[in-house]
Amino acid sequence: MTDLIRVEDHGAWRKLVLNRPEKLNAVNETMLTELIEALDDADGCRALLLTGEGRGFCSGQELGPAMIPGADGPPDLAAHASAYHHRVVRRIRALPLPVVCAVNGVAAGAGASFALACDIVLAARSAVFMLAFVRIGLVPDSGASFFLPRLVGEARARALAMLGEPVTAERAEAWGMIWRAVDDAALMAEAEALTAHLATQPTVALAKMKRLFSAGAANTLDAQLDLEAALQGEAGRTADYAEGVRAFIEKRAAVFGGNA
Ligand code: T3D
């Protein structure tokens, strides 16, 4: 392990920090492998916070000599994306706990995709999102072509992908691309407080919400209603549900254990 991903434990929640500030946290194979391991290791937590060190959140794939044709021909980007970037996105979406993203600075290329894969995204007012893929002759990957049209609509998604223009945090909030733009100085405290709050919530229900929203992207209304009923049935058998209702009746704050 190097320290390209810094893991900070805060009791029930954990902070993962992309830690290559001199390259605006551009990701390479080592860093992505560490990120995947850190995500795999987070199953026991009740919430995660993903952010970047320094003035950038993540400037996407590291662009270096390995990314241009060499003696063996062009790099196999399909295999590369599948083995690394896309595993990160799949893991974030599949984790049975909420993942908050604090976008502390520029989020470009796969860096923007990683942010959009998270459940709740806060961004510093000075941060920008950039589908930089087009600038180097690539297509949006790491889920950007899936997340973006669903978040901002196809007209904006197509223009952002084809133009690669930066979107400010405030515009991203106005367009529904992220949850909230926050003053730079307040970003980390707000993101940490939000993640800590989520870690006290009914974790099993939050995990089932993730399943619902993922499935909803492809389901018919009927199929989604069936899934809601099934997952509500499961949620209704958790100790947290019993505690939530009991707390309401007793007029006190619920104390959720996060258990099934
Ligand atoms: O492998 C696959 O499967 C393919 C998948 C690809 C997915 C992708 O992510 S494609 C998109 C890759 N990313 C980019 O194209 C973005 C490249 N970076 C930029 O365009 C700019 O750096 C930014 C707009 C993000 C920020 O600009 P600025 O002016 O604020 O900072 P800067 O001076 O350009 O960057 C600071 C340093 O970080 C600089 O290094 P230096 O000169 O001080 O030694 C710069 O080279 C380095 N850096 C930034 N991004 C990358 C990077 N180094 C390597 N790879 C990067 N992606």
Whether 55 lines ligand 1, by a CB cut-off of 6 Å, is: no
Mean pLDDT in the chain? 97
Tell me the mean pLDDT in the region 105-128: 98
C-alpha 207 to ligand 1 mean position (Å): 34
C-alpha 27 to ligand 1 mean position (Å): 10
- Residues 60-92 have pLDDT tens digits of 999 999 899 888 899 999 999 999 999 999 999
Do the beta carbons of residue 156 and residue 182 sit within 8 Å?
no
Residue 1 has what pLDDT? Answer: 60
Res. 102: pLDDT tops 90: yes
**Ordered domains of the chain (ranges, CATH):** 5-198 (3.90.226.10), 203-249 (1.10.12)
Instruction: Report the distance separating Cα 82 and Cα 185, nearest Å.
Output: 36
Residue 43 has what pLDDT? Answer: 82
- Residues 153-173 have pLDDT tens digits of 999 999 999 999 999 999 999
Whether 135 lines ligand 1, by a CB cut-off of 6 Å, is: yes
C-alpha 232 to ligand 1 mean position (Å): 44
Whether 132 lines ligand 1, by a CB cut-off of 6 Å, is: yes
Residue 123 has what pLDDT? Answer: 99
- Give the number of other Cβ atoms within 10 Å of residue 88's Cβ: 23
